[in-house]
A and B are shown apart, each in its own frame.
Chain A
Amino acid sequence: MNNFFLIKYGSEILQRMGEHLLLVGIAIATAILISLPLGILITRQKALRQPILALANVLQTIPSLAMFGLLIPLVGIGSLPAVIALTLYSFLPIIRNTYTGIMSVDPAVREAGRGMGMTDWQLLSQVELPLAAGVILAGVRVATVIAVGIATIAAAIGAGGLGVFIFRGIAVVNNDLILAGAVPAAAIALVADYGISWLEKRFGGCLKNPDVR
C-alpha cells in the first residue's frame, strides 16, 4: 500500500500541485484582465474585431512546446515564460466568449435601454455584462482547463508544476511517476471545470430561459 504512487510521492505532489495552481491562477487572472476589455472593445469597434480575433487565433495554434521555446530568448526560463505562454493561450476563449456573450444580448433589450437614456457605460455594466456573464464564464472555464493541461509541459523550461513528475517518469520509464503528475493534473482540471460551471449556472441563469424578453 505504501508503494501506491499517490502516497509514495505524497508530499512532493502537494508541492507540485501548489506550483501548478499558482502558474494557472496567475495566468488566468492576467488573461481575464486583458481579454475582457479586449472582448468588450471589439463589440464597440467593429473594425478591430477581425484583427484581434485573428491574432488570438494564431496564438492558439502555436504548439505549446514551441511557444515555451520561443519565449526563452525573450524572458529566459522559469515561471515567467510559463505564465506568459499560459496567458497567451487563454486569450482566445475569453475574448471570443466575451464578444459572443455581449452580442447575443437581445437587441430589443439593448434598444430599450438606449431609448430610455442609458449611457453606454450603464448599458454595459448593468445589462450587457450581467446577461453575458454565463457565456464569459464558459470561456474562462475552457481557458482554465486548457491551461491546466498545458502547464504540465511548462516543467520542460523549469517552471515546476506537476509536469516535473511526468518528464521525470518519461526519462526513467516509470509509470508511477507519470501517473503521480497526470492524475492530480486531471483532478485539478475536473475540479476547475466543475467549479466554474457552478458559477456559470449561478450567474448566467437568466440567459438559459429561451422565452425571456
Chain B
Amino acid sequence: MEPQGITVSFQDVGLTVGGRTLLSNLNFSIYTGEFLVLLGRSGSGKTTTMKLINRLLAPTLGTVRVQEWATTDWDVIALRRNIGYVIQEIGLFPHFTIEQNVGLVPTLQGWNSKQIKSRVHELLHLIGLEPGQFATRYPHQLSGGQRQRVGVARALAADPPMLLMDEPFGALDPITRLELQQEFRRLQQELGKTVVFVTHDIQEALILASRIGLMHDGRLVFLGTAEEFLHSENAEAQTFLKPLRTMERWTERE
C-alpha cells in the first residue's frame, strides 16, 4: 500500500518510568489507511507504544504527533474520541445493553437518540449480529467471539479515522480467531481505517498486516511488509519465524 499521508509520527520517543527505560529511540510513522501490526514478546513495549498514541501514556522524551499535533497539545478527551480503542479484555460495560455499549461514544458526543440508534443498528449488521436479537441483550449473554465483535463495533461507532487494537483476538479459540481476523481485515480495507494492532502472534501479524513493526526491549528493531519480514536477517525476526518454520516442516512431512 502506498502511503497516503501520515496519521501518526513518533519522533525520538522514549519513555522512562521510575528509573526504568520502557521505550527508547522510537522513530517511525504510521500512514493513513495502513494496517500496522506491532509484533513483539510480552514486555517488549508494544502495548506501551500503542498507549502513547491515545495518550493513556505520555512520552518522557521526544514527541508523538497525531494528525500534525503533539499528543500533549491535544485536548486528551477529543484525541481519544477520535481514535477507536479495542483491548483483549474488551471492557464492555456489564450494566449496559449491547446497544448502549456500541452507542457509547456517540452518546458522549451528544448525538440525538435517533442517530445513535440507526448507527448502532448499522454497526451490528456490519459485524454480523442481528440487531433485533442482540441490541437489548447484556454482555454476559454473549459468547466471547460475539463480545469481541461488539468491542470492535463500539470502537467504530463514532467513525474515528484510526483504531488502536491491543491483542483483541487473543482470548478467543483458534477457529473463532481466524474467522474474526479475516472478517476484520476485509472490514478494515472496506472502511479504509488506519489500524494499529498489537500482537505476539506471528501468524496473526502475517494475516493482517500491511506493515509489521517488530519490537524488542523497548525498541523498534524492524519495520516493513510481511514479505520483507519473512526475509529479514534480524535476529529477533528469526526468533519469531522459527516456530512458523518448524510447523511448516511438520505439515510437509504429512
Contact = CB atoms under 8 A, between A and B. Distances in A.
A98 B139 CA distance: 24
Interface string A85-123: 000000000000000000000101111111111110010
Interface residues of A, number: 24
B109 to A, nearest CB: 9
B192 interface: no
Contacts of A114: 56, 80
A111 B138 contact: no
A131 B108 contact: no
Interface in B74-123: 76-82, 84-85, 87, 89-95, 104-105, 108
Contact of A209 (B80, B94, B104, B154): B94
Nearest to B140: A212
Interface residues of B, number: 30
Given A116-B85, A117-B78, A117-B80, A108 B90 contact: yes
A213 B92 contact: yes
A157 interface: no
B193 interface: no
A112 B138 contact: no
B147 interface: yes
Chain A CB count within 10 A is highest, among B54, B76, B108, for B108
B77 A106 contact: no
A118 B164 CA distance: 16
Contacts of A126: 93
Interface in B145-187: 147, 151, 154-155, 164
B56 A115 contact: yes
A112 to B, nearest CB: 3
A130 B96 CA distance: 10
A127 interface: yes
A206 interface: yes
Nearest to A212: B94
Nearest to B95: A206
Chain A CB count within 10 A is highest, among B81, B82, B85, B138, for B85
A200 to B, nearest CB: 14
Nearest to A108: B89
B91 A122 contact: no
B77 A112 contact: no
Nearest to B101: A112
Interface string B35-59: 0000000000000000000101000
B48 to A, nearest CB: 13
Contact of A130 (B78, B82, B95, B164): B95
Interface of B: 54, 56, 76-82, 84-85, 87, 89-95, 104-105, 108, 138-140, 147, 151, 154-155, 164
Interface of A: 106, 108-119, 122, 126-127, 130-131, 206-207, 209, 211-213
21 contacts: A111-B56, A112-B91, A112-B92, A112-B93, A113-B93, A114-B56, A114-B80, A115-B56, A115-B87, A117-B77, A118-B108, A122-B108, A126-B93, A131-B93, A131-B94, A206-B95, A206-B138, A207-B94, A209-B94, A213-B91, A213-B147
